[in-house]
């Protein structure tokens, strides 16, 4: 009989979480460690990366940390040289410039693309080819509901998040025969540093809460279960997928309950 509980265990495996200093990245790192993984906590903010690693160790887990800028291929390669090829990669970094497309400058466009899309590409390329050489691995990158639905001021961000989905699908097709799986997670609205400006506006905050079926924002830890699933053997037949963790945001109109 299959030991179904063991499917989710990550004992003896290494998970590199990029963007682990806060929000979804921190929750993902802590969850992976709770299931037995040795976690490499990477973040542009080294102090934040260290803090996450210390939290994991404080709860009996195994974790190390480093500073990583996803805009630098050298940083990515240096991390792999230092820690080796991970069994799982989780990529969470993302930035946004909230402006209408007609107001976005070339520099602003390039900045968002460089972190969100090209940063994911750098990680997927460098880690993916090493995983393929070894013959195993799971790559998870964070997309967004904005890969499917948009609003004013989200154009470039949305384009990068849609691009991440296609990037991971292509990676799944190319590396699947060599034992590497690649999947995307698309959160709804989550309370993170990126969404802090929205939370500070009560009307805007409530409008987002009312937009989904559960009528509330998500906590970062509510993304962690999907991360553990995709990094573990429980998802051994899942690749090229984009899993929406959005409280029904993309499934329903959500703004009006008609008299039925």
Per-domain boundaries in the chain: 5-245
Is 5-245 a CATH 3.40.50.720 domain?
yes
pLDDT at 193: 83
> Does residue 138 contact residue 185 with C-beta atoms inside 8 Å?
no
Answer whether 139's CB lies under 8 Å from 128's CB: yes
User: Is the pLDDT at 260 greater than 60, yes or no?
Assistant: no
Residue with tokens 């240096």: 78
Beta bridge partners of 66: 42
Q: What is the mean pLDDT of residues 115-125?
A: 98
Helix (H, G, I), strand (E, B) or coil at 10: coil
58 burial (CB, 10 Å; 0-12 / 13-18 / 19+) is exposed
* Chain centre to alpha carbon of residue 124: 12
Annotated active-site residue 4? The verdict is no
Question: Going along 126-177, which residue ranges are E strands?
Answer: 137-142
Phi, psi of 69 (to 5 degrees): -110, 115
| Entry pTM | 0.95
Tell me the average pLDDT across 113-128: 98
DSSP 8-state symbol, 185:
E
Residue 259 CA, distance from chain mean position: 39
Over 90: is that where the pLDDT of 78 sits? yes
* Span 79-92, average pLDDT: 98
Instruction: With beta carbons less than 8 A apart as the criterion, state whether 127 and 89 touch.
Output: yes
Q: What tens digit of pLDDT does each residue of 137-150 get?
A: 999 999 999 999 99
Average pLDDT across the chain, whole number: 95
- Residue of 4, 157, 205, 237 marked catalytic: 157
Burial of 1 (0-12, 13-18, 19+ CB in 10 A): exposed
pLDDT per residue as tens digits for the range 46-76: 999 999 999 999 999 999 999 999 999 999 9
Q: How far is CA 20 from the centre of its chain?
A: 10
Q: How confident is the model over 159-209, as pLDDT tens digits?
A: 999 999 999 999 999 999 999 999 999 999 999 887 888 888 889 899 899
Spatial contact of 17 and 66, defined as CB atoms under 8 Å apart? no
Res 241 pLDDT > 90: yes
Residue 199: predicted pLDDT: 83
Residue with tokens 């506006």: 201
């Amino acid at each position: 009989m299959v030991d179904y509980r063991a499917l989710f265990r990550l004992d003896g495996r290494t998970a590199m979480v990029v963007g682990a200093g806060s929000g979804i990245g921190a929750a993902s790192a802590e969850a992976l460690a709770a299931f037995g993984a040795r976690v490499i906590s990477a973040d542009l903010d080294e102090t934040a990366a260290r803090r996450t690693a210390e939290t994991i160790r404080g709860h009996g887990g195994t974790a190390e940390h480093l500073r990583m800028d996803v805009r630098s291929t050298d940083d990515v390669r240096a991390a792999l040289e230092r820690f080796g090829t991970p069994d799982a990669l989780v990529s969470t970094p993302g930035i946004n410039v909230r402006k209408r497309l007609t107001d976005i400058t070339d520099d602003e466009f390039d900045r968002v693309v460089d972190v969100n899309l090209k940063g994911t590409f750098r990680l997927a390329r460098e880690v993916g080819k090493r995983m393929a050489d070894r013959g195993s691995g799971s790559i998870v990158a964070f997309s967004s509901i904005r890969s499917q639905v948009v609003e004013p001021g989200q154009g470039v961000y949305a384009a990068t998040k849609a691009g991440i989905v296609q990037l991971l699908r292509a990676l799944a097709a190319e590396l699947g025969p060599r034992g590497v799986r690649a999947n995307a997670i698309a959160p709804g609205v989550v309370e993170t540093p990126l969404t802090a400006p929205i939370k500070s506006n009560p009307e805007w905050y409530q409008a987002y809460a009312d937009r989904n079926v559960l009528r509330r924002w998500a906590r970062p830890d509510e993304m962690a279960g999907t991360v553990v699933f995709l990094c573990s053997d429980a998802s051994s037949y899942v690749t090229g997928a984009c899993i929406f963790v959005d409280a029904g945001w993309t499934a329903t109109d959500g703004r009006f309950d008609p008299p039925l």
